[in-house]
């Protein structure tokens, strides 16, 4: 058993000295440092919602096109609480109507890190606990 341990130890030491692995480790360390130092400018909640608006419009238009149902309204509810303590949640509720006049609800949930919000928006969301935005008819593009 001692011989196997010695062989294994020698093998591990050889791998540790490998120039390719050391170069790879250095590269990974550089990327980690760059990523950690990457900072984004916090934005307001209103600007975040405006930024998400185009994607929401595209999603609504796709649902209308592929499911042959009519969009009748919706809301985006922003909640200060989420499953993750460092995050807030976005709950998108889209209402459609089919040819039988039945209402169909399509929902989407997303959690985002509080660090993307500016201080004013963070404070407002924490105080209000919930902010609701109306989802209007999509822009036809």
For 113-137, write each residue's pLDDT tens digit. Answer: 999 999 999 999 999 999 999 999 8
Number of folded domains that form the chain: 2
pLDDT value for 24: 56
- Tell me the C-alpha distance between 99 and 48, whole Å: 34
Mean of the per-residue pLDDT values for the chain? 81
Looking at the structure, do residues 79 and 129 belong to the same domain, yes or no?
yes
Residue 95 near residue 103 (C-beta atoms within 8 A): yes
- Specify whether 49 is located in the same domain as 115: yes
Contact 45, 117 (CB under 8 A): yes
Are both 86 and 120 inside the same structural domain? yes
Residues 19 and 82 in one domain: no
| Rounded Cα distance, 34 and 49, in Å | 28
- Pull the structure tokens for residue 24: 């790879």
User: Do 29 and 61 sit in the same domain of this protein?
Assistant: no
Has residue 141 been placed in a domain? no
pLDDT greater than 90 at residue 141: no
Q: Which of residues 59 and 17 earns the better pLDDT score?
A: 59
Give residue-wise pLDDT tens across range 27-69.
555 555 544 445 568 899 999 998 888 889 999 999 999 999 9
- Torsions phi, psi for 80 (to 5 deg): -70, -20
Across residues 57-85, what is the average pLDDT? 91
Do 88 and 131 reside in the same domain of the chain? yes
Q: Domain check: are 66 and 28 in the same one?
A: no
The Cβ of residue 135 has, within 10 Å, a number of other Cβ atoms equal to 20
Domain match, 62 and 104 both? yes
pLDDT at 22 over 60: no
The pTM of the whole model exceeds 0.85: no
Structure confidence at residue 36 (pLDDT): 46
Higher pLDDT residue, 91 or 4?
91
* 111 shares a domain with 94: yes
- Domain of 13? 2-37
- For residue 140, tell me if it sits in a domain: no
């Amino acid at each position: 058993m001692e011989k196997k341990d010695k062989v294994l130890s020698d093998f591990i030491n050889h791998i540790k000295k490998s120039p390719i692995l050391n170069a790879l480790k250095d590269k990974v360390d550089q990327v980690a440092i760059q990523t950690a130092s990457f900072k984004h400018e916090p934005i307001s909640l209103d600007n975040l919602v405006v930024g998400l608006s185009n994607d929401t419009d595209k999603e609504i238009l796709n649902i209308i096109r592929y499911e042959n149902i009519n969009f009748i309204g919706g809301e985006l509810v922003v909640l200060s609480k989420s499953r993750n303590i460092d995050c807030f949640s976005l709950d998108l509720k889209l209402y459609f109507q089919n040819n039988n006049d039945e209402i169909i609800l399509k929902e989407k949930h997303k959690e985002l890190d509080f660090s993307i919000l500016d201080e004013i928006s963070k404070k407002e969301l924490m105080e209000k606990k919930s902010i609701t935005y109306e989802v209007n008819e999509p822009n036809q593009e």
